[in-house]
Structure 1
Amino acid sequence: MSNPSVILNKVGEIVLKDRPIPEIKDEHYVKIAIRKTGICGSDVHYYTHGSIGSFEVKSPMVLGHESSGEVVEIGKAVTRVKVGDRVAIEPGIPSRYSEEYKEGRYNLCPHMAFAATPPYDGTLARYYLAPEDFLVKLPDHVSYEEGALVEPLSVGVHAAKLANIRFNSKVAVFGAGPVGLLSAAVAKAFGATQVLVIDIFEEKLKTAKEIGATHTFNSLKTKDFKKDIIELLGGQPNVIIEASGAEIAVKNGIDIVKAGGVFVQVGMGKDEINFPLAKVTEKELTLKGNFRYSHGDYQDSVDLLDLGLVNVKLIVSHRYDFNDAAQAFENIVKNGKDVVKTIIDGPK
């Protein structure tokens, strides 16, 4: 049996190559046959630029980290899953000895081994190894495609927890990309009674309404942003989730949030921007960064799917066969504004 893999050979060049079938060497690890994988913005950025911050692709790397699959082999000490189980794969493994891991904030571990982040290979292959405690079993009625989308959904869950979203929260989400849309859906599921999604593309705003937003707003169609938002909502939101990374969105979010509110930065943008610091002080805002997800977020995401509280299938705009993975990336680069989430099948 071979192990075909989608490999970033160099910037702008993706190839399909056979890699050695991974062998279980740690008795707590599991071998998974990958069934579905979503393409993340970071995968595309490595494809187009070869690096993200200090992480640089210096040798061929298997792409992908939003995956689900079937357990096909388990280590001798594994008790949490069995062969045949369908699982969502949490793709970042921290050091078991770091302070961050002990504190329950393992997403901040400086020694994190994260799939498709140099120098670690990703999940776009026939087989992938993961420790048993970083797998979450999928209920029978939750598909592999939904299981792959647990990864970006978990980012939205983590943001909602950081923002302390609960019943009667009023939330504004900037950016209707996959994470923004899912953050809006999670906010609604967590009890927010007003969920506003702000973007510049009407089709994405339409999807926002379908996935749970109570209000949408095209920021290109305004001359007085704050006034229009207050009129639309009947007041100011007390939570901002900024999922675009755009400087203007950060400024607008700080401007419209209610005094004493919470601003969570999820989107990645420029390293440095002009920032309205005085307003943060005057409003006594709580400002938080959001980095991936941590303990319990993956399980909570699967539970949201299990209960039917979030419909992640609404964000899937494109689907490709494994052998057409290179075309999938090319399509995102050429037609990005028309792409929300692309799913790639596992090898047949």
Structure 2
Amino acid sequence: MRAAVIDKPYSVVVNQVDTPNIKQSHEVKIQVKVTGICGSEVHAYHGTHPFRVPPVISGHELAGIVVDVGNEVSSVSIGDRVTVEPHYGCGTCKRCRSGKYNICENKKVLGTQEWTGSFGEFIVVPESTVVPLPNNVSFEQGALIEPLAVGIHAVRKAKVGLGDKLAILGAGPIGLGILLAARNSGATKIFITDALEYNLEIAKRLGATHPIQTSKVDATETILKKTNGDGVDHVFIAVGIQAVLNDSFRIVKRGGKVSEVALFGKKPEIEISYLQNKEIQVIGSNMYTRDDFEIAADAIATGMFDTSLFISKILPIEEAKTGMKIVDEKLEDVIKVLLKFNDLILHSFYENNKKLKLFYNSKKNFPI
């Protein structure tokens, strides 16, 4: 199969690699139609991600079609349109047994050296991680369910409620996902910061009441002024920058909450006296669980979440390096860059796959 491989720092090559195949009875094989470039892929591209270490076939935001299933799979079938919750826990530890498999010490994550990611045109995943796409959700929208689930998990964990005031530091895909989730949880005053005017314009159109461009004004002073010096109820750190971390402690109210969602490439230093003095609650938010994924899918399907402003550019997988450079170096105004595998490859796979061919021959139309 073809795959975009981060072979070393700052290098992406499209190669023919071995196709993963089902080995366990509860596994599902998926042909990837669309996959997104995430900030974690950029960290892998830099060689700074803690576990996406080159050489690696990264990618974990995806949508595709089920092309094969293990003999004990019962919840999905060949031909189903799906996305994937790209992690799973050991299943036996205390965290997994309590439903918190997202913080399992031994969890597996898609797009690492031990689990081939969606920058390859086929992936094999446990049945438990497969999430069906609603009929009216496109593959492109399906690839956005993962980053939106990150925001939903963070907002649910922070217990954002009606009338809350909050600040989101960073208006990339994760920050915008937090914005959508917070707005739909009842937050009435939403500050969001970013250096890029384009991202803030998108944030405003998605419901942010106070977009703040940090390259032009002091965000901390602005937020404190507009809250009469009290600060906000919640702060969400959606960009891994040292200064942003400490700004969060300054703008949160006494007794307020700071949620750390971003991945930091370098070990940050914090002004810990703020935590004690203001009795700040610091909340870590790690990925998501199944509920967050299903909420995201339903929110897109019902129109609660408008994803049209997220998808900025769609490139063929052969241009993966170009897409990575656009995201990394901010060469264009983009929120989310998607990579797409062309349909000819799937048609070729269909011709050589008896199960898939049998399925499609039973249908009136071949949906490719």
Same fold, judged at TM 0.5 (above): yes
Given candidates 46, 50, 56, the residue that maps to 2:53 is: 56
Cα RMSD between the aligned structures?
A: 2.0
Q: CA deviation at 1:297?
A: 1.4
Q: Which residue of 1 aligns with 2:223?
A: 229
Q: Which residue of 2 aligns with 1:192?
A: 187
Determine if contact 1:104/1:295 at 8 Å carries over to the other structure. Answer: no
Whole-Å Cα distance in 1 between the matches of residues 330 and 244 of structure 2?
23
The Cα offsets for residues 183-206 of structure 1, whole Å up to 9 and x where unpaired, read as: 111111122112211112111100
**More moved, 173-182 vs 310-319:** 310-319
Aligned amino acid, residue 154 of structure 1 = A
Distance 1:290 1:314, change over 3 A: same
Whole-Å Cα distance in 1 between the matches of residues 16 and 242 of structure 2?
42
Aligned amino acid, residue 53 of structure 1 = P
Determine if contact 1:150/1:302 at 8 Å carries over to the other structure. Answer: yes
Determine if contact 1:124/1:346 at 8 Å carries over to the other structure. Answer: no
Whole-Å Cα distance in 1 between the matches of residues 52 and 12 of structure 2?
18
Whole-Å Cα distance in 2 between the matches of residues 249 and 15 of structure 1?
34
Q: CA deviation at 1:328?
A: 1.6
Q: CA deviation at 1:157?
A: 0.9
The Cα offsets for residues 293-346 of structure 1, whole Å up to 9 and x where unpaired, read as: 124111111121122111233122221012222222233344357332110012
Q: How does 1:1-348 map to 2 (within 5 A)?
A: 3-49=1-47, 51-53=48-50, 56-57=53-54, 60-222=55-217, 225-233=219-227, 236-269=231-264, 271-336=266-331, 338-348=333-343
What secondary structure sits across from 2:193 in the alignment? strand
Aligned amino acid, residue 19 of structure 1 = V
Q: CA deviation at 1:114?
A: 1.0
Determine if contact 1:323/1:347 at 8 Å carries over to the other structure. Answer: no
Q: CA deviation at 1:23?
A: 2.2
Count of aligned positions: 342
Ranges in structure 1 where 5+ consecutive residues have no aligned partner: none
The Cα offsets for residues 210-236 of structure 1, whole Å up to 9 and x where unpaired, read as: 12212211233335x444214435663
Which runs of structure 1 show a deviation greater than 6 angstroms over 4 or more consecutive aligned residues? Answer: none
**More moved, 272-281 vs 157-166:** 272-281
Distance 1:227 1:63, change over 3 A: closer
Ranges in structure 2 where 5+ consecutive residues have no aligned partner: 344-368
Per the normalisation by structure 1, the TM-score is 0.91
**More moved, 234-243 vs 25-34:** 234-243
Distance 1:337 1:274, change over 3 A: farther
Determine if contact 1:61/1:120 at 8 Å carries over to the other structure. Answer: no
What secondary structure sits across from 2:198 in the alignment? helix
Whole-Å Cα distance in 2 between the matches of residues 338 and 244 of structure 1?
17
**More moved, 92-101 vs 142-151:** 92-101
Whole-Å Cα distance in 2 between the matches of residues 166 and 246 of structure 1?
27
Aligned amino acid, residue 110 of structure 1 = E
Whole-Å Cα distance in 2 between the matches of residues 274 and 327 of structure 1?
33
Determine if contact 2:165/2:187 at 8 Å carries over to the other structure. Answer: yes
